[in-house]
Amino acid sequence: MDINQYLEMFIEESKEHLQACNDHLLELEKNPQDLSIVNEVFRSAHTLKGMSATMGYEDIANLTHKMENVLDEIRNSRLNVTPELLDVVFVAVDQLEEMVFNIAEGGDGKLNVEETVRKLHEIETGEIEVAATVVNNVSSTSLENYLTYDDYEMTVIQQSAEQNYYSYEISIKLREDCLLKAARVYMVFELLEKMGDVIKSSPSVEKLEDEDFDEQFYVAFVTTETQADVQKKLMKVSEVTEVIVNTVSLEQLKKRQSEAFEKEGSTVIELQTEEKPTTEVKATGEKQVATKNNQTHGNKTIRVNIERLDILMNLFEELVIDRGRLQSISENLHDSELEETVERMARITGDLQNIILTMRMVPVDTVFNRFPKMVRQLARDLNKKINLQVIGADTELDRTVIDEIGDPLVHLIRNSLDHGIESPEIRKAKGKPEEGTVILRAYHSGNHVFIEIEDDGAGISRERVLKKAIAKNIVTPEAATAMSDKQVAELILSSGFSTAEVISDVSGRGVGLDVVKTTIESLGGSIDISSTEGQGSLFSIQLPLTLSIISVMLVELGEEIFAVPLSSIIETAIIRSSDILNAHNQKVIDFRGKVVPLVFLEEVFEVPNERLEEEFHSVVLVRKGDKMAGLVVDSFIGQQEIVLKTLGTYLSSVFAISGATILGNGKVALIIDCNALIR
């Protein structure tokens, strides 16, 4: 078998299973007696073991097998969940991730995991003292835990009994090392359908087909065959190791359903308050609470290589350029029929643009999901108690932005944990809860996405920041006294700035937040800081929804055309020459009571202009955070959607130019980087 054709699928599915392990292990730490969570981790580990063994990655298969053994001890109530045990399991998951990422980069997926394997074995055999008493009040496993019925299914069972059919609940167990579980399930179902009718299964048929279960599954079945015959026939299926067939009556099922509702009613209500799609809801104790409608109306998705989406986007970008050219030709020819056709084409390409951009959108959860485990480990390293709250993880951003935003967020969160949140002793002395709170929040606003990191820690010390800023000649002592608290807080974004007395591995080894600022601004975004000393800080990042197609204001400078992103523009204005003032060798205007510096773009970009001094000037007012500037141009052309093209590596350092675009008339317009012009 040529396994290379399955490599990409193996890598993607492995990443998903490992992320599921991380998420469920964090949940398990909060609810150590919830065995349903252990079952979820076990399933992911078991599936990963099977996939890696099939693909020939023995190190992954062996480590997952040892981890699986420990999880099996927990779910069979022979081990208690402790922080020490979870530490070892988290290390195992980290090493599995390292091996999978190595494979994704073209490596062989090998890693020395002997130490972790040894620790897992010692935990399993009880050599490490994490084993404890059996968890109390855990009932023995039976089919009652896995099969529940809705009214339609109960009616089918009742009608079958009236026609002298037997109703059975069947447990089928496959070999633990079975590699083709879906094929064995298919053989079991094919045999059952020859004998009678399958009412339902647990897990669902979709999950069985996707091999999203461990070695055991359950079936409700009606037939005229005897209990013994059904059991014998199913045992003949290859790699089936155990078949248990129980006869059930309608009265038994009704009684069970009634008891289950009384016992689990509070669980169902609690689950319904979760703000998640109902198809993802699972109750504790492995009871299935999703309705039949939830199962049949799930989202249908396919995997598409991201390179194909990039190609599609590039082709569409060319189409946008041609659309602009057609509109330009149509306006010059004044042909009504052509104008009507071009208008219709513009509407269709507009709809197509929305669809393509939506296809490229990715939930920020793909970045956020790495942080809970990181915060857990950092909290232990720093001896702090920290509660991380994630809000708005389903907010979507363009994949290009998602790829770049991860590292800045890591830096900000580490900074918040290291410098922001105080130790439990200090917090207690200040009258605060010993546990600090860090909130990671994302939300849409207009054509932007905002990501915020908020903490209830010590805040930013004005005195310490100014002392360091003056020492590094970032500000003068005179200027420091006139600065607002917000301006002082934003000094920490200056190059090389750090208030850390001791350089640590946690928040950047003395590297300042200027790296974060530079990365965010390179994405067309901005970062804003607000802080109250003693109460906490809020870092707010504003990002564009997409970097591929943007709305701009086209302006004219001499014979050249430039584009100013609408996301940076406050408004446009026409001012008199007499309204221009001088302050500290800088030309400024009074804009609604605020002094705004003017930037003459023809001087910045050295554009030849032989026109005489004019009485009026066209000004584009732009903003970066709280700072503003007025860009002086010759004239406004109008708004337009354009395709952003990079200038390439040779022109990457051109001042105040972020890219270029091709206009409808075939000319190239340079895109102005407003952030570089505002100081």
pLDDT at res. 283: 30
Higher local confidence (pLDDT), 307 or 476: 476
- If one counts every other C-beta atom within 10 angstroms of the C-beta of residue 612, the result is 5
What is the Cα–Cα distance from 333 to 11, expressed in whole angstroms? 55
The average pLDDT across 559-567 equals: 90
Among 17, 46, 411, 419, the active-site one is 46
What is the Cα–Cα distance from 308 to 302, expressed in whole angstroms? 13
What is the Cα–Cα distance from 33 to 257, expressed in whole angstroms? 24
pLDDT at res. 142: 46
- In order of 525, 553, 575, the CA distances from 598 in angstroms are 22, 18, 11
C-alpha dihedral, 328 to 331 to 336 to 337, nearest 10°: -10
pLDDT at res. 292: 37
Helices (H), strands (E): how many in the chain?
Answer: 23, 22
What is the Cα–Cα distance from 77 to 74, expressed in whole angstroms? 5
pLDDT at res. 572: 93
The angle at the Cα of 357, spanning 355 to 359, to the nearest 5 degrees, equals: 70
Q: How far is CA 642 from the centre of its chain?
A: 28
Confidence of residue 663 (pLDDT cuts 50, 70, 90): confident
Strand ranges in 447-535 using DSSP code E only, listed in sequence order: 448-455, 526-532
Which pTM was predicted? Answer: 0.59
Higher local confidence (pLDDT), 270 or 242: 242
130-139, 337-346, 494-503: range with highest mean pLDDT? 337-346
Q: Which residue has the tokens 């094919």?
A: 190
Higher local confidence (pLDDT), 517 or 302: 517
| pLDDT tens figures, 512-555 | 588 888 888 888 788 889 899 999 999 999 888 777 778 899 99
**DSSP H stretches of helix in 126-248:** 151-162, 181-195, 205-209, 227-235
Q: Give the pairing of strands 560-565 and 668-672.
A: parallel
Among 17, 39, 124, 415, the active-site one is 415
Residues 6 or more apart whose Cβ sits within 8 Å of residue 590: 579, 581, 596
Among 13, 68, 169, 490, the active-site one is 68
Confidence of residue 508 (pLDDT cuts 50, 70, 90): very low
Confidence of residue 561 (pLDDT cuts 50, 70, 90): very high
Asked whether the beta carbons of 149 and 200 are under 8 A apart, the reply is yes
Secondary structure of residue 517 in the 3-state scheme: helix
Please tell me whether the peptide bond between 424 and the residue prior to it is cis, using omega within 30 degrees of 0: no
| pLDDT tens figures, 16-31 | 899 999 999 998 988 8
Closest residue by Cα to residue 419 from 388, 452, 455: 455
Residues 6 or more apart whose Cβ sits within 8 Å of residue 210: 182
What is the residue type of 284?
T
Asked whether the beta carbons of 357 and 310 are under 8 A apart, the reply is no
Specify the range with the lowest mean pLDDT, choosing from 76-90, 265-279, 433-447, 633-647.
265-279
Specify the range with the lowest mean pLDDT, choosing from 63-72, 89-98, 277-286.
277-286
The angle at the Cα of 676, spanning 670 to 679, to the nearest 5 degrees, equals: 145
What is the Cα–Cα distance from 365 to 677, expressed in whole angstroms? 34
pLDDT at res. 99: 93
Residues 6 or more apart whose Cβ sits within 8 Å of residue 251: none
In the annotation, is 137 catalytic?
Answer: no
Q: Looking at the predicted structure, is the pLDDT value of residue 506 above 70? A: no
In the annotation, is 46 catalytic?
Answer: yes
Q: Give the pairing of strands 435-445 and 385-391.
A: parallel
What is the Cα–Cα distance from 231 to 172, expressed in whole angstroms? 10
Q: What does the mean pLDDT of the chain come to?
A: 81
What is the Cα–Cα distance from 624 to 679, expressed in whole angstroms? 9
What is the Cα–Cα distance from 210 to 190, expressed in whole angstroms? 17
What is the Cα–Cα distance from 11 to 211, expressed in whole angstroms? 16
pLDDT at res. 608: 83
| pLDDT tens figures, 265-286 | 333 323 233 333 332 323 333 3
Backbone angles phi, psi at 212, to 5 degrees: -90, 60
The average pLDDT across 233-258 equals: 83
Confidence of residue 4 (pLDDT cuts 50, 70, 90): low
The angle at the Cα of 423, spanning 417 to 429, to the nearest 5 degrees, equals: 135
What percentage of residues in the chain have a pLDDT greater than 90? 25
**DSSP H stretches of helix in 334-363:** 336-359
What is the Cα–Cα distance from 352 to 348, expressed in whole angstroms? 6
Q: Is the dihedral of CA 151, 156, 161, 165 positive or negative?
A: negative
